[in-house]
Amino acid sequence: MKVTQIPFKKTGFFSNTMIDYLEQKDTLKPFYNNFPDITGFYNQIEEKETSFSLQTRLVLAEAIKNQYLNFDVSAKTEENIQLLKLKNTFTITTGHQLNLFTGPLYFLYKIISAINLAEELSEKFPEKNFVPTYWMATEDHDFDEINYFNFKGKKVVWNREDGGAVGRFSTEGLDNVLNVFANQLGGSKNATYLRTLFSDGYLKHNNLADATRYIANELFKEFGLVIVDGDDEQLKELFIPFVNEELERGTSFKEVSRTIEKLEENYKIQVKPREINLFYLGDNFRERIVFEEGIYKINNTEITFTKLEILQEVEKNPKAFSPNVIMRPLYQEVILPNICYLGGGGEMAYWFELKQYFNKVNVPFPILLLRNSVQVVSEKQQRKLNKLDISIEELFLNQHELLSKKVIENADLEVNFNNKITYLEQQFEELKTVAEKTDVTFINAVKAQEKKQIKGLQNLQKRLIRAEKRRQKDLVDRITFLQNEILPNQSLEERQRNFSEYYLEYGCDFIKALKKSLKPLNLQFTVLEL
């Protein structure tokens, strides 16, 4: 195993927002609290410790304990659940949708990042406890985003009727999905493990939340991962004051809107708030709460409430009130002794919209950490890269740019006209000096001629490169095939492939390799050669 780390910026797959955050640019500093370094964690621990109540800890531990009933809880996870009751215990949290069979590869990277960060902080702050936590997005209702995973370039899809929070979905029909998947696995020991994991997860549990808990627990219980389902009555009771605040005052809309006005001066806005950022949740539906003409209405239903009635409903039935993407982070931070949230670039972008809202409702804003991203390269692929003289950083170039670069390097004649263009620019600088002594019309004529001739050289270079690509067709084909193999659809494989492809080949050694190589606080992209 060989690990290479490169700056996120060099991959070309991360937004300016994320790059500016990693570089701690001043334009982003107003939108987050502490930065993910040791000083930041020291300050965050102090802030959370003084604001998080013992009573909330006891409720949280009890709720999680109940959620784990009938599951095989490891000694390490059991210990971590008990530690949540103590004032000096904090969570390191990541969240993810309930994708079928974990969905894209980065599901693993998120969780292992959280586990490794908890371990690293335990060494740096030995008097504190840190619990890696996976927040299941059980209340999401975007079924089309989670009902499949990719295996060897093909979709394995679960077809069923949509409706309501996905965590409550019955697992009925997943036996058919298993049959399709199993037929592609073969008969190896690792294939048997994957079949059993899928079968025990989805065919022995009645709903998607329990199935997902089972699979995540099986993969990570030895590391003490604690899995949290927010669709829980005990936990929702802790959130009642914030639900009431939202219904009566629309605080999130006001504060997030103010933040967006400032944030969008430099950055793209990820999500926009609604006037009420709550859903009403039933067994088969999850619909927005809207306020019209003095009445609270549940969108696409006949359900309505007066102000008094809906506040009574919150007290009587808190589980029915489900936060949307704007309020879900607040819910998480209210019920968890959390100091750090690990997520992808898209998640980080919408968290930046929330700091002022957190300040308004007096909840500490957590440290935000861009999760580890990984590109796996096999030994065979690395040998091919070496033979083609393609470095790790070059691998991430736009394909057109990569091919042009390698064709120029392997050409028998001079294809790169950069020196000629530089020389031409120098000649025109001399002409401009002469032109300045005449009149403005001559200066403009010189500039126009310069632009025309440089463009002509650039066009000639493009034509020559195209001709060289045709002449070096074998090289072009080999590079194209290899880059497409490593970066499917010209994107990071972590968004395309499922972990089962690598588990089938490497077994549990794949997870061990990730566990050993991922360094969350290094703030770099990881290339893992297996």
In sequence order, what DSSP letters do the residues of 71-87 get, joined into one string? Answer: S---HHHHHHHHHTTST
Question: What's residue 416's pLDDT?
Answer: 63
Backbone torsions φ then ψ of 283, nearest 5 degrees: -65, -35
Q: Are residues 520 and 458 in the same domain?
A: no
Q: b/e per residue, 125-147, with b = 16+ CB within 10 A?
A: beebbbbbbbbbbbbbbebeebb
> Does 487 reside within a domain?
yes
Q: Are residues 409 and 462 in the same domain?
A: yes
> Does 499 reside within a domain?
no
User: Is-contact 36 369, C-beta < 8 A?
Assistant: yes
> Does 357 reside within a domain?
yes
Tokens of 267: 């950055």
Question: What's residue 420's pLDDT?
Answer: 64
Rg (the chain; Cα; Å)? 27
Dist CA 251 CA 264 (whole Å): 20
Q: Is the pTM of this model over 0.85?
A: yes
> Does 39 reside within a domain?
yes
Q: Are residues 331 and 478 in the same domain?
A: no
> Does 262 reside within a domain?
no
> Does 453 reside within a domain?
yes
CA of 348: how far to CAs of 153, 162, 191, 327, 340, in Å?
A: 29, 28, 36, 14, 12
How many structural domains is the chain composed of? 2
Domain span at 46 = 2-147+208-238+326-373+513-529
pLDDT (tens, 9 = 90+) of the chain, 530 residues, equals 999 999 999 999 999 999 999 999 999 999 999 999 999 999 999 999 999 999 999 999 999 999 999 999 999 999 999 999 999 999 999 999 999 999 999 999 999 999 999 999 999 999 999 999 999 999 999 999 999 999 999 999 999 987 899 999 999 999 999 999 999 999 999 999 999 999 999 999 999 999 999 999 999 999 999 999 999 999 999 999 999 999 999 999 999 999 999 999 999 999 999 999 999 999 899 999 999 999 999 999 999 999 999 999 999 999 999 999 999 999 999 999 999 999 999 999 999 999 999 999 999 999 999 999 999 999 999 999 999 999 999 999 999 999 989 988 887 666 566 666 676 677 667 677 766 767 667 777 767 777 877 776 767 667 777 877 888 899 999 999 999 999 999 999 999 999 999 999 999 999 999 999 999 999 999 999 99
Q: Are residues 477 and 341 in the same domain?
A: no
Q: Are residues 487 and 517 in the same domain?
A: no
Q: Are residues 469 and 522 in the same domain?
A: no
Q: Are residues 485 and 517 in the same domain?
A: no
Q: Are residues 216 and 360 in the same domain?
A: yes
DSSP state of 279: E
User: Is-contact 76 222, C-beta < 8 A?
Assistant: yes
Q: Are residues 108 and 33 in the same domain?
A: yes
Q: Are residues 445 and 337 in the same domain?
A: no
Q: Are residues 369 and 399 in the same domain?
A: no
Instruction: Report strand pairing: 338-343 vs 89-96.
Output: parallel
Q: Are residues 487 and 520 in the same domain?
A: no
> Does 337 reside within a domain?
yes
> Does 62 reside within a domain?
yes
